[in-house]
Structure 1
Amino acid sequence: MCSKSNSQNIQGHRISELPDAVLCHILSFIPTKYSVRTSILSTRWKSIWASVPNLDFEFEQMSTTWKEEYMSNYVGFFMFVDRVLSLRDSLDIQKFRLHCYYRVEDFSRIVGWICTAIRHNVVELDLCVYSDNIVCPTFELPQCVFMCKTLVVLKVKSNCITYGLPTSGCFPRLKFLDVKVEYPEDDSMEKLFSCCPVLEDLSINATVRDLLVLMFKVSAPELKRLRMTFVSAYLVSKDHEYDISINAPKLENLDIKQDCLSIYLFENFKYLVKGSVDLYSHYEQEWNDASERTTALLEAP
């Protein structure tokens, strides 16, 4: 027993003797709430967590009633994020991950967190933000996100975020975009997917209202991989279709998953080497159209 205890102490001391950069790298693989807890281990560990390049905050506990215990956890989470960000000083942030539900009145705090990450030269921004209100007001992604000169990876899943893009200078370094859009509009989607001059990897996951004809264009000169998933909010009808134009001269991989096949128009396809089409639902009224669209899709490249 004593021998085992001594062995564990030796291992613990060896870890503490590692350089700060190595310890920060190790802590970057765990959620921030756990890396902060290492501060109580010893004086050596007291401030290591504050230099970790990755910040990972998650509060996905959702409740239909704001009971005392839930509210306490919710308030504690928001205070924790505020506190951690206030102690970052001038240190850069490599990755900022925020997954949480929020009340409408706390919307401004989330915007503030996002802007703080941008000011700290964030490279990867991963947002999964949902309002507690079913009929929730929307808010625009801060303009600083679009203009960020260090951002390379952007992931957004939300039922409340919209995209009011500036007229120029968007995403100068963004190479990976993964976005989930609920009930998209033509112009907002087209602007978002066509304002990334160096984008190489694009994933689109859209939930679309019934009785909607959705038309938009993806235009990305450096795009190499494109994944598109479209889900109908209700039963697919004859009045429900997507008309999608893709201009990606360097596209190599195309992955399509839909309930009913869209009308596709391809431009400048020269390097496509792999394609996947998954029609996970099929309706009788679409049979004739599906046959024609499938033929057109296979012939296009």
Structure 2
Amino acid sequence: MDRVRCLSLRNDQNYEDLDRISQLPDTPLLRILSNLSTREAVGTSVLSKRWKNLWTDLPILEFQWDIELSFTDLDCALKKVSFKNFVDTVLLHHRAPYLTSCRFAHLSEFDSAQTIAWFSALSTRQIGEIIFDHCHIDVVGRFSAKRPFKLFMIESLSVLDLSSVFIHYPRNKVQFELPNLKTLYLYRVTCFNKDFFKKLVAGCHVLQELSIVSCDFHSLEIHSLTLSRFIISKFAPMDSFILEAPNLTELYLRSEDLLIAEVFRGVSKTNTLHLDYHDKPSELDCENMPWFHHLAHLQFVAYSELKLGFILCMLHHCPSLQNLILHFDKDADKRDWMLPSCPPRCLLSSLKVFE
């Protein structure tokens, strides 16, 4: 018996010597678990007592439904039940008061009420980043004054990423108050509520970066004193577009119907501008070009359809320009690139750097 006990103790000692990673403090171990998927991280609970409850303090949660085309209807139904039980279990036992990131992905196969319920279970936490990817958020008919939908009311939120998301909420019942949101990404977002975007941006008091790509918005109205980076790529026509962002420094445009003059008018007071413009501007846009009296630094990325006349038109309206950087792609049409008879004033007076 003593011999068996000694061998057991020796084996335990050898195991401890080999398993040095389990002897690390919680912080580095949680950092390791954060590089795994949530399902993989939860699976480490069977390794030993040291790992059993470690995942419950994970700072990152990701719930992604993966379905293969080869699944039969029965397989799919069973997989959905298993996935639902997994998410319910994680939300029941997870205890970290602060989440650096939370991601819900490919949940359009699930009822919107289920997705909302899962999110609501986390909405009382402090969350830094929220990502909804291929999800339905239909709050109509499920709104409760006692349990309001809080996606747009999380005080700690700094990054909100909505991709391929359908949104529908009861009019005048959902509040938009995101006082610490600095980054907003919208990709293929569809919303039945026409005032959604206006209210969303109005509730972001410190917004710095805004990206709108292929979204189904009939109108855009942006008023922001803090916005510094704006990306818009839209192919459907809009009824109206209003931009007022005097501190914008980076502007990336790609839109077939968006009047460049309307966009420029909203950033005409800026000092620095990075312009990445893909489409061919019309003559009307150049004729209505606003004046950039404060613009000192301009970086221009020119694509194949951009003509010299448009660039010269803009330079004529930048009397205080000091630094000009031009980039051309390999397909740029240079057939009309001839020296103008009347060069812009900034080229003769204020310009110091030209690349």
TM-score by length of 1: 0.76
Provide the aligned C-alpha RMSD in A: 3.2
Q: How does 1:1-301 map to 2 (within 5 A)?
A: 13-61=19-67, 67-89=73-95, 91-103=97-109, 106-130=111-135, 138-139=138-139, 143-162=149-168, 170-180=177-187, 181-182=189-190, 186-208=194-216, 214-232=218-236, 240-241=237-238, 243-262=240-259, 264-265=262-263, 266-267=265-266, 269-279=269-279, 290-293=282-285, 296=288, 299=314
Q: Say which SS state the counterpart of residue 123 (structure 2) adopts.
A: helix
**Residue type of the alignment partner of 1:120:** R
Q: Does the 8 Å CA contact 1:96/1:117 hold for their aligned counterparts?
A: no
Assess, with a 3 A threshold, how the Cα gap between structure 1 residues 167 and 69 changes in structure 2: closer, same or farther: closer
Mean Cα displacement is larger for which, 163-172 or 21-30? 163-172
Per-residue deviation, 1:12: 5.5
Assess, with a 3 A threshold, how the Cα gap between structure 1 residues 91 and 194 changes in structure 2: closer, same or farther: closer
Distance 2:250 2:86 in 1: 41
Structure 2: tracts of 5 or more residues without a match: 1-14, 290-310, 319-355
Per-residue deviation, 1:160: 2.0
Identity of aligned residues (%): 24
Q: Which deviations, in whole Å up to 9, do the C-alpha atoms of 1:175-198 show, x marking residues without a partner?
A: 111123236765322222232110
Q: Does the 8 Å CA contact 1:208/1:231 hold for their aligned counterparts?
A: no
Q: Does the 8 Å CA contact 1:93/1:117 hold for their aligned counterparts?
A: no
TM-score by length of 2: 0.66
Distance 1:148 1:76 in 2: 30
Q: Say which SS state the counterpart of residue 271 (structure 2) adopts.
A: coil
Q: Does the 8 Å CA contact 1:183/1:207 hold for their aligned counterparts?
A: no
Structure 1: tracts of 5 or more residues without a match: 1-8, 132-136, 233-239, 280-286
Per-residue deviation, 1:103: 4.2
Q: Does the 8 Å CA contact 1:187/1:216 hold for their aligned counterparts?
A: no
Distance 1:277 1:10 in 2: 60
Assess, with a 3 A threshold, how the Cα gap between structure 1 residues 193 and 43 changes in structure 2: closer, same or farther: same
Mean Cα displacement is larger for which, 240-249 or 17-26? 240-249
Q: Does the 8 Å CA contact 1:242/1:262 hold for their aligned counterparts?
A: no
Q: Which deviations, in whole Å up to 9, do the C-alpha atoms of 1:31-76 show, x marking residues without a partner?
A: 1011011111222111111111110111143769971112222221
Q: Which deviations, in whole Å up to 9, do the C-alpha atoms of 1:142-161 show, x marking residues without a partner?
A: 64222211111111123422
**Residue type of the alignment partner of 2:106:** C
Distance 2:247 2:70 in 1: 47
Bigger relative contact order, structure 1 or 2 (CA pairs below 8 A, ≥6 apart): 1
Distance 2:18 2:103 in 1: 29
Q: Does the 8 Å CA contact 1:243/1:262 hold for their aligned counterparts?
A: no
Per-residue deviation, 1:165: 6.9
Aligned pair count reads: 269
Distance 2:174 2:191 in 1: 23
Q: Say which SS state the counterpart of residue 256 (structure 1) adopts.
A: strand
Distance 2:16 2:287 in 1: 67
> Which structure has the greater CA radius of gyration?
2
